[in-house]
Amino acid sequence: MAGWLSTHVLDTARGVPAEGIKIVLYRISGNSHNKIAETVTNSDGRTDAPILPAEKFKTGNYELVFSTGDYLKSNGDTQGDVMFLDEIPIRFGMNDPEAHYHVPLLLSPFGYSTYRGS
């Protein structure tokens, strides 16, 4: 069995899944960011498939970038032209080649959190 990576986004201010958020996954090596996947959250705040499926999984350092600005704007969560949380990068490492890593984003207009889920 090979490892894989999944994610989802929950709008904790409204208590609903966050639909329509673009997510980009990068593999990090030194100062280099190599884009390896891009997707958008569905109506359940999840991606339709793992963002990094088993057949492409490699251990190493990664970064998920959640483009939350348009979502927050569409819900009236802005104060002027400059967004407080326009893009949210989460950098993490995966060292077990057979593990399922789940890195969710819990989002509100002025804060966020994440954790290693299951």
Q: pLDDT tier at 28 (50, 70, 90 boundaries)?
A: very high
Confidence of residue 60 (pLDDT cuts 50, 70, 90): very high
Neighbours of 89 (CB within 10 A): 11
Residue 115 inside a domain? The answer is no
The overall average pLDDT reported for the chain is: 94
| CA distances, 63 to each of 13, 20, 43, 103 (Å) | 24, 19, 23, 10
Task: Determine contact, residues 11/68, Cβ cutoff 8 Å.
Answer: no
- pLDDT, residue 1, reads 63
Confirm whether 69 is domain-assigned.
yes
The CATH number covering residue 100 comes to 2.60.40.180
Report yes or no on 42 lying in a domain: yes
**62-118: per-residue pLDDT in tens?**
999 999 999 999 888 777 778 889 999 999 999 999 999 999 999 999 999 999 998
Residue written as token pair 């996947």: 37
Per the domain annotation, does 118 fall within a domain? no
> Which residues form the domain of 8?
4-110
Q: Which residues of 50-82 are buried (b: 16+ CB within 10 A; e: fewer)?
A: bbbeeeebeeeebebbbbbbebbeeeebbeeee
Average pLDDT over residues 5-31: 96
